[in-house]
Structure 1
Amino acid sequence: MKNFILILFLFTALLSNAQDKKQTEKTKIVEASCGQCKFGMKASGCDLAVRIDGKAYFVEGTKLDDHGDAHAHDGFCSTIRKAEIAGEIVGDRFKATSFKLLPTTK
């Protein structure tokens, strides 16, 4: 029983630490669009990408179609949008833990 309580306590502490890390992760505003259509990246088909400090990265953790019709007048294959993101660059990809598409301005 003592081992079970100890394991439960450790699991709860680890889970709490993970939640704290996610909440304190910094967000930034970046350009988001179709990597192939708007950022000139090489790959087959259309894939979501973000441009951070002038360099484009394909995104893992969310996809084009999670944010509406990519081929609509305001879609990712038609225009470059702003997004508030959190995550990290790993190799040549951006691993998103948060991705919020910002409203378009006229």
Structure 2
Amino acid sequence: MKKILLLSIFIISFSCSNKKKIKQVAEISCGQCQFELDSQNGCDLAIRIDNKAYFVDGFNIDDFGDAHNKQTGFCEVVRKANIQGKIENNKFLASSIKMID
């Protein structure tokens, strides 16, 4: 019985600490201007996966050009990107972002 209990605790703790790696196409833009996120001040990069938006750690909003450019800026438009990373503490920890458009 003790072995089963210990094994169950190990499996549960391992599954809770194992963060799922995400690799997919997602919408990317300014969290405040386009995705209506308000937990941070100013303009910050965010992604939207399955209709839920997350601020991005690992990349800056100006890493892909001027955020306020009328045609391509993240504060003006929502764009698409191939993303890789994981969600942790309600933020997307990005290891790779490659713009599609």
Aligned counterparts, 1:68-87, within 5 A: 68-73=65-70, 74-87=72-85
Q: What amino acid does structure 2 have at the position aligned with 1:45?
A: G
1:76-101, Cα deviation, whole Å (9 max, x unpaired) = 00000001000000021000010111
Report the TM-score, using the length of structure 1 for normalisation: 0.71
- Aligned counterpart in structure 1 of residue 47 of structure 2, from 32, 47, 50: 50
Aligned to 1:41: 37
Contact 2:44 2:55 in 1 (8 A): yes
Residue 102 of structure 1 deviates from its aligned partner by: 1.4
Higher strand share: 2
User: What SS does the aligned partner of 2:63 have?
Assistant: helix
Q: CA RMSD in A?
A: 1.1
Distance 1:93 1:60 in 2: 7
Distance 1:92 1:26 in 2: 14
Runs of 5+ in structure 2 lacking a partner? 1-20
- Aligned counterpart in structure 1 of residue 90 of structure 2, from 83, 89, 92: 92
Distance 1:88 1:27 in 2: 9
Distance 1:52 1:26 in 2: 10
Higher helix share: 1
Runs of 5+ in structure 1 lacking a partner? 1-24
Distance 2:97 2:87 in 1: 14
Q: What percent of counterpart residues are identical? A: 51
